[in-house]
Amino acid sequence: MGNLLEIKNLSIEYVTDERTNKAVNNLNLKIREGETLGFVGETGAGKTTTALGIMRLVPNPPGRIVSGEIYFEGENLLEKTEKEMREIRGNKISMIFQDPMTSLNPIMTVGEQIEEVIKLHEDLPKDELRKRAEAMLETVGIRKERFDNYPHEFSGGMKQRVVIAMGLACNPKLIIADEPTTALDVTIQAQVLELMKELKIKFNTSMLLITHDLGVVAETCDYVAIMYAGSVVEYGNVERIYNNPLHPYTIGLFNSIPSLDEDKDKLDVIPGSPPDPSNLPTGCKFHPRCINCMEICKKRVPEPIEVEEGHFVSCLLYDKGIKEGK
Ligand code: SF4
């Protein structure tokens, strides 16, 4: 499978008079065709900013892409004109947000809103357009008779289904789903995730799934990238990382999940809090919170090391040179 998306050394910051927040720092990431990549990290880790960077929707000002390359189907999106990007958004890459009301217009019917997405990229006769929109509604489990209903006539889960229908309406190659189920009740979350999994296969789409929930990743993803302070600290196949997490931050995330098998009074939490993006620590950005921190971690920025095939970790504990005292 070839790479559909490849991000190289991407850095994004938000600049105000008082401060510069380094939201994304030298980030590297790839998604192959047909693959679902889970993008995991605490709030403020830079996950959503990365997604907005891919869509070239970082609000400017105060945001700006400082450096890097974002290759999609082999072409650097950062070199595209705004007109070219409008052709790509919704058509080749679409985005699903956490709160469906961010994407839905309360004064248009849901059917019209799906039609609008299709109309942006295809010139179809009116009756054919309606048929396509009705088919999309049925694909996400909503009867076509509800075409003329308004968003307020739907529950939260049904609204998110409409948003998914809009996201898939032009059969994009890549869907970026930003915490798509976080705003929903737990039982509805499972249904929506199941639907997304089915549709991903049916439409042969790749997916970047942004979440803070490792359970969702285990259920849905093929690969996972763990993000900390704007960089990927561990990346690999879901099974490998779940069976053998290596980065102290990833291990901390797993230890903080409640388990039915263990009888614990308290959950293990990662000490400290995420760093201030306007004043990031030197060396490894995780060092003030790391229980394995060595003196060198305060000075040297860890590079990704391939510890087993396709499993990368950015931590000096796995640096052979340091182990051997070099
Ligand atoms: Fe901890 Fe050092 Fe590894 Fe950073 S590089 S995670 S501080 S051991």
Q: What local confidence, expressed as pLDDT, does residue 1 receive? A: 67
Per-residue pLDDT reduced to its tens digit, 311-320: 999 999 998 8
What is the residue-wise DSSP string for 97-163? Answer: -SSHHHH--TTS-HHHHHHHHHHHH----HHHHHHHHHHHHHHTT--GGGGG--GGGS-HHHHHHHH
Per-residue pLDDT reduced to its tens digit, 236-246: 999 999 999 99
Give ipTM to 2 decimals.
0.99
Judge if the beta carbon of residue 287 lies within 6 A of ligand 1: yes
What ligand 1 atom has the least distance to the C-alpha of 284? 4
Q: Please name the residue ranges forming H helices in the chain.
A: 47-54, 82-88, 100-103, 110-121, 126-139, 156-168, 186-202, 214-220, 238-243, 248-255, 320-323
Among left, alpha and beta (phi > 0; psi -120 to 50; other), residue 306 is: beta
CA–chain centroid gap for 234, Å, is 15
Cβ neighbours for 245, distance < 8 A, ≥ 6 positions apart: 234, 251, 253, 254
Per-residue pLDDT reduced to its tens digit, 35-68: 999 999 988 889 999 999 999 999 999 999 999 9
Distance 316 CA to ligand 1 centre (A): 6
Q: Round to whole Å and give the CA distance between 242 and 236.
A: 10
Element at 228 (helix H, strand E): strand 223-228
**pLDDT exceeds 70 at position 325:** no
In the block, tokens 């309360």 appear at 106
Distance 247 CA to ligand 1 centre (A): 8
Judge if the beta carbon of residue 293 lies within 6 A of ligand 1: yes
Pocket test for ligand 1, best of 314, 316, 322 (most atoms within 8 A of CB): 316
Contact 46/226 with Cβ under 8 angstroms? no
CATH class for domain 3-92+170-259+266-324? Answer: alpha beta
Judge if the beta carbon of residue 248 lies within 6 A of ligand 1: yes
- Partners of 75 in the beta sheet? 72
More confident residue, 17 or 283: 283
Q: Which residues of 170-204 are buried (b: 16+ CB within 10 A; e: fewer)?
A: bebbbbbbbbbbebbeeebbebbbebbeebbeeee
Kindly state the greatest CA–CA separation across the chain.
Answer: 72
Between the CA atoms of 159, 164, 166 and 172, what dihedral angle is there, to the nearest 10 degrees? 170
Structural tokens at position 2: 């070839």
